[in-house]
């Protein structure tokens, strides 16, 4: 068995109130995705006696990149990220369709440009895993800070085409709040109640609800279900006019969620 057949562990390191810094690790080394804060990462690496081998960044927001510089002060490692000067620490800038090999782990990731939350947001997809930052959340999606509903729709549609079993590692623990909204935007979806009780049980034990997977998201995430009659009806009811195309449905439920 070659090294690339071995799926390493992926561990969430918590940061701030609800960020996850996903840490790909084996017994010696670790790579981190979106280290918004260096402190919890350095504590984890020290406690587990791990050496940092790479940093991956999905987008430029401080809660995802704020720890880059301090980590680089401790470990001279490559930083993989988008073409965006707002992340000055990136050493290997990646565009849509490009592949990168994660050092030490020899895992191949494909880069997907998924604008919507920010204009230069990327995801890393490989080994059955998707690191999607703040674009796709369990039962939700990121706010449209720099992108249009059309861009977010296209990005989410692209992610929804990945295999159902793809594990989805999101940047935040927003699942319960997202489900509460999803039940309003997709009121006839029985899968949401089941997901809610599972997620609630995990949160009651202070465990992450993530990773999700693409199959679960297609079944429960209203932002991936903008062509579903139930979501169209709820979005139209909230907007006060008949919405017919999925992009206007996404725009309407994103607006709705902003004030929910």
Binding site for Fe ion (CB under 5 A): 63, 134, 171
- Angle between the 229-239 and 175-185 helix axes, to the nearest 10 degrees? 80
Among 37, 134, 213, 228, which one carries the catalytic annotation? 134
Nearer to Zn ion, 147 or 246 (CB): 147
Q: Which residue has the tokens 């965006």?
A: 84
Strands 92-94 and 99-102: unpaired
Q: What residues have CB less than 8 Å from 135, skipping those under 6 apart?
A: 58, 114, 116, 117, 121, 123, 141, 142, 152, 155, 156, 159
Does 61 qualify as catalytic in the annotation? yes
Q: Catalytic: which of 60, 104, 153, 172?
A: 172
| Residue 115: CB minimum distance to Fe ion, A | 15
- Point out the catalytic residue in the list 60, 61, 104, 153: 61
In the residue annotation, 60 being an active-site residue is answered as no
- Can 238 be counted among the known catalytic residues? no
Residues 6+ apart with CB under 8 A from 63: 15, 16, 19, 34, 36, 37, 171
Smallest gap from Cβ 183 to Zn ion, in A, equals 24
CB of 58 to Zn ion, least distance (A): 8
Binding site for Zn ion (CB under 5 A): 61, 134
Smaller CB separation from Fe ion, 17 or 244: 17
Instruction: Identify which of residues 130 and 231 has a Cβ nearer to Zn ion in the complex.
Output: 130
Give yes or no: 104 in active site: no
Strands 79-82 and 129-133: unpaired
Q: Tell me if residue 153 is catalytic.
A: no
**CA–CA distance from 155 to each of 103, 160, 223 (Å)?**
27, 9, 11
For Fe ion, give the closer residue by CB, 130 or 249. 130
As annotated, the active-site residues are 59, 61, 63-64, 117, 134, 172
């Amino acid at each position: 068995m070659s090294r690339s057949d071995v799926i390493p562990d992926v561990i969430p390191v918590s940061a701030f109130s609800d960020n996850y810094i996903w840490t790909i690790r084996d017994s010696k080394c670790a790579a981190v995705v979106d280290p918004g804060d260096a402190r919890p990462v350095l504590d984890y690496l020290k406690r587990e006696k791990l050496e940092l081998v790479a940093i991956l960044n999905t987008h430029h927001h401080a809660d995802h990149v704020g720890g880059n510089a301090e980590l680089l002060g401790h470990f001279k490692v490559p930083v993989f990220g988008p073409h965006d000067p707002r992340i000055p620490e990136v050493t290997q800038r990646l565009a849509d369709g490009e592949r990168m090999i994660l050092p030490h782990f020899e895992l191949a990731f494909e880069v997907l440009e998924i604008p919507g939350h920010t204009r230069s947001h990327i995801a890393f997809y490989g080994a059955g895993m998707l690191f999607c930052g703040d674009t796709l959340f369990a039962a939700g999606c990121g706010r449209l800070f720099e992108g249009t509903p059309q861009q977010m729709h296209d990005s989410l549609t692209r992610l929804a085409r990945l295999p159902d079993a793809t594990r989805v590692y999101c940047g935040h623990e927003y699942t319960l709040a997202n489900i509460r909204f999803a039940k309003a935007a997709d009121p006839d979806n029985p899968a949401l109640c089941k997901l809610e009780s599972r997620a609630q049980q995990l949160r009651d034990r202070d465990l992450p609800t993530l990773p999700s997977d693409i199959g679960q998201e297609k079944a429960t995430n209203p932002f991936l279900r903008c062509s579903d009659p139930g979501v169209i009806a709820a979005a139209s009811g909230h907007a006060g006019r008949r919405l017919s195309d999925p992009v206007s449905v996404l725009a309407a439920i994103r607006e709705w969620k902003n004030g929910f």
